């Protein structure tokens, strides 16, 4: 895992790539989970993405050494903010009624760390039981300081309902504005267009994607 970030710079067609660890339990914990990692990639084309997944030594080693894995293929719907000074995702401002994925990412100011963790954990616990949520995990490049959330929802309506009607989440938004926690932040939405892999956590998503005529490739456990 330590060697992968440097290797990403030399991959053809990869315009943005981040290897991320995760927190314990549901991922929203100050304690790391050394068994779950995420690789976020932005590609010039689908063919170059598939070439990486099928032939590149990084992808092949990940799959070989993993008990479970899942590839989630996404098209950008909207994005605002920056990630390490970059705007990695396209921002077409389009809409969909299909399943969506959301990435929220922030770099927390050192003098705001204790306040951030004090308020974010109750909100993350509240998120787990929300209607329309299929999957969520807390991920990040650097424990405690650089945090991201990846979640998949039935549709935009269910995600917005949580974001703006959940008392716990509304409290976090309010505190974010009051306390100015972040030195950098990003929020991006995507349409889920395909999935491939064998993670049990994604099995409940399969019927919905199939009903939306999405590509589902199941692998043996």
Number of structural domains in the chain? 1
CATH of the domain at 212: 3.30.70.100
CB 74 within 8 A of CB 63: no
CB 117 within 8 A of CB 30: yes
The per-residue pLDDT for 175 is 62
Structural domain including 133 reads: 4-218
CB 118 within 8 A of CB 107: no
pLDDT tens-digit profile of 126-154?
A: 666 678 888 888 888 876 677 888 999 99
The per-residue pLDDT for 178 is 65
């Amino acid at each position: 895992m330590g060697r992968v970030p440097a290797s990403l710079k030399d991959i053809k067609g990869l315009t943005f790539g981040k290897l991320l660890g995760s927190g314990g339990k549901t991922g929203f914990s100050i304690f790391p989970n050394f068994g779950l990692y995420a690789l976020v990639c932005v590609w010039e084309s689908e063919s170059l993405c598939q070439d990486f997944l099928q032939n590149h030594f990084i992808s092949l080693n990940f799959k070989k050494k993993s008990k479970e894995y899942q590839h989630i293929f996404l098209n950008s719907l909207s994005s605002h903010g920056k990630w390490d000074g970059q705007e990695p995702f396209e921002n077409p401002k389009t809409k969909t009624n299909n399943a969506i994925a959301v990435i929220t990412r922030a770099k927390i100011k050192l003098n705001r760390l204790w306040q951030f963790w004090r308020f974010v954990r109750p909100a993350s616990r509240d998120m787990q039981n929300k209607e329309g949520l299929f999957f969520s995990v807390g991920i990040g490049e650097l424990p405690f300081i650089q945090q991201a959330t990846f979640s998949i929802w039935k549709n935009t309506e269910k995600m917005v309902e949580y974001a703006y009607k959940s008392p716990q989440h509304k409290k976090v938004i309010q505190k974010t504005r009051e306390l100015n926690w972040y030195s950098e932040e990003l929020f991006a939405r995507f349409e889920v267009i395909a999935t491939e892999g064998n993670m049990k956590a994604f099995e409940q998503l399969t019927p919905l994607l199939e009903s939306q005529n999405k590509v589902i490739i199941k692998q043996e456990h």
